[in-house]
Homo-oligomer: A and B are copies of this chain.
Amino acid sequence: MEQLIQRIATDGQVLSDHVLKVDSFLNHQMDPKLMKGIGDEFTKHFREKKITKILTLESSGIAPAIMTALNLEVPLVFARKKKSLTLKENLFVSQVHSFTKQETYDITISKDFLFAHDHVLIIDDFLANGQAALGLMDIIQQANASLVGIGIVIEKGFQEGGRMLRDKEIDLHSLAIIKSLQNGQIHFS
């Protein structure tokens, strides 16, 4: 997606060989027109897939996912990263390890909102080692629902998540793939 790649090239900050900060338009401040454009791109790719539900993870996945959900006319469910007071039981739970934050956390989705008849599209902001995607896929499996595909805004192509998911023959659609962040430079695939 040309507009996204340009924006990453202009405003992305390389913090290390494997950390890219895009807080000015995706992860903290959000550009709503870009989010809409991202939603339109995911819609183009996945529109024939008979999707019934979109799943994402709080918080940065919500904006691209809600724009896609609006186009596809399906509900969005976001997985929570910790259990809330009003959601203590009746939950699908999986564990996700974040290599960036060096922590393992629970992700939860209420059993009220994911069913065996659902055809689910996962949307997330980043794909690195694929741990978040695996956690969401685990929950889809617990619900006996079907995974239709995964839409990713930025894939770190130099980490293993993308290859691991494509090896499973999942329809993975990444709008920008970073080949390398070495020497403070962003190289795209």
Task: Mark A residues whose CB is within 8 Å of B.
Answer: 15, 19, 21, 23-25, 28-33, 35-36, 58-59, 62-63, 66-67, 69-70, 73-78, 80, 84-87, 100-101, 109-110, 112-113
- A112 partner residues in chain B, CB cutoff 8 A: 23-24, 29
Which single residue of chain B is at the shortest CB-CB distance from A68?
B32
- A24 partner residues in chain B, CB cutoff 8 A: 112-113
Give the shortest distance, in Å, between A159 (CB) and chain B (any CB): 16
Could you list 10 examples of A-B contacts with CB < 8 Å?
A23-B86, A24-B112, A28-B77, A30-B75, A59-B78, A62-B62, A62-B66, A63-B63, A63-B76, A85-B100
- A35 partner residues in chain B, CB cutoff 8 A: 66, 70
Is there an interface contact between A23 and B66, defined as CB atoms closer than 8 Å? no
Give the shortest distance, in Å, between A67 (CB) and chain B (any CB): 8
Which single residue of chain B is at the shortest CB-CB distance from A100?
B85
Which single residue of chain B is at the shortest CB-CB distance from A22?
B86
- A73 partner residues in chain B, CB cutoff 8 A: 32-33
CA distance A75 to B29 in the complex (A): 7
